[in-house]
Amino acid sequence: MIKLIIDKNIPISEEYFEGQNIDFDFLPFDRINSSTIKNADALFIRTTTKVNKELISKSNISFIGSFASGENHISNDLLDDSECLIQTAKGSNSQAVFEYVLSCILENDFEACSVGIVGHGHVGKKIDSILSNLGFKVEIYDPYLYDHSEDELNKVLSCEVLSINCSYSKEGKYPSHNLISKEQRPKSKLVINSSRGEVVDYSEIAKSSEIFNDVWVNEPKISSTDIYSFMNHSNAFGTPHIAGYTFSSKERQIDLILEKFNDLFSKSVETKEVKKFIKLSSCLSDKLIKSKNLDFKSMISEVISTSKIATEFKALLSEYDEMGKTFGPEEFEKLRKSKMRQGFDEINIDIPMGKDLLQRMEFSGFKNQKKEKFS
């Protein structure tokens, strides 16, 4: 029987694995170590677990499923190890991150403006493709993919809106550590950071641009001082790492990793409808938007309002401060879980809609419209 260790904050319930040919344990990320995994064959983790050969050297682990799009928590020597298959969730949250970025743009009244994107991987390409279809002028900076020079970076940093979507690295030819900072300050009116906290000096950027920051230095061991310092700026809007946090993205993550897991272990896990087994803070039902006379911006705000989330986050921090309580990693994770949302493709819209609005909704990812009712 296969032994599987699972980070307990991966939102899939124990019931999914019950009755299957598998022995599993859910552990907190800080209890996943060489001792607790020594009898394991496979490991399901998040970015909170730093994985290297030393961690798995005393175990039989031949598969690591990482429920994240980035790889900076996995050592290079392990990524190159042919004896251990590593499957990340790259691309699974790209639609969700686009939805977050679009909300930031529209709620700040930017339409058909110039948008600079740093990083043109799965997420960057998704944002680029849809925003271009919606009439935005998009500029890209990705030196790894396109051998871009400083000139391309400066062009991107001069766009009205700047979206940071690159992977995080401290080494290599083009390290992204502190890429957006006092020394490399954007001229953009709005900056959106959904990459990693270490990529953007967000408190510094808040001095000159409005910034929506979704990721924080040293997650999950966030510093309340760091967050408070950022939030004190009038241009600063923070959210608790929820850009890619939709039901759809989590379902895609689980499907992707379980498919590779089953390929390696001869279909040890029976494929089930993942939706029934994802752990949510509350039961989400299909949202039916019936309000009439809504424009595109209002439609998006009905599904996700980054401004509202940021306002609630700031109010919660103020409450903790007034009570003399510390807003630490546990509180951060609890808040994050409470913000799980439905993606655009899960939303039913049942109102008459003109051709132009319908097209924009479809470009953005809505799929469940009852088209026969639209004008």
Each residue's pLDDT tens digit, 30-84: 899 999 999 999 999 988 888 888 888 889 899 999 988 777 788 877 877 777 8
Q: Locate 212 and state its tokens.
A: 């929506």
Which residues is 356 bridged to in the sheet? none
Based on the domain organization, do 130 and 265 belong to the same domain? Answer: no
User: Does position 212 have pLDDT exceeding 70, yes or no?
Assistant: yes
Q: What is the CATH number of the domain that holds 79?
A: 3.40.50.720
Does residue 61 lie in a domain region?
yes
Based on the domain organization, do 125 and 232 belong to the same domain? Answer: yes
Does residue 255 lie in a domain region?
yes
Give tens-digit pLDDT for 324-336: 999 999 899 899 9
Residue spans of beta strands (DSSP E) within 159-307? 161-164, 190-193, 210-213, 236-238, 288-289
pLDDT-based confidence at 130, cuts 50/70/90? very high
Give the structural domain span for 254.
Answer: 2-88+247-276
Does residue 288 lie in a domain region?
no
Residue spans of beta strands (DSSP E) within 97-170? 114-118, 137-141, 161-164
Number of domains in the chain: 2
Based on the domain organization, do 263 and 164 belong to the same domain? Answer: no
Closest Cα to residue 46, out of 26, 73, 80, 12? 73
Based on the domain organization, do 154 and 32 belong to the same domain? Answer: no
Which residues is 211 bridged to in the sheet? 191, 236
Does residue 149 lie in a domain region?
yes
Torsion of CA 293, 298, 304, 307, to 10 degrees: -150
Does residue 46 lie in a domain region?
yes
Does residue 358 lie in a domain region?
no
- Between CA 232 and CA 314 the distance in angstroms is 9
User: Does position 95 have pLDDT exceeding 70, yes or no?
Assistant: yes
User: Does position 372 have pLDDT exceeding 50, yes or no?
Assistant: no
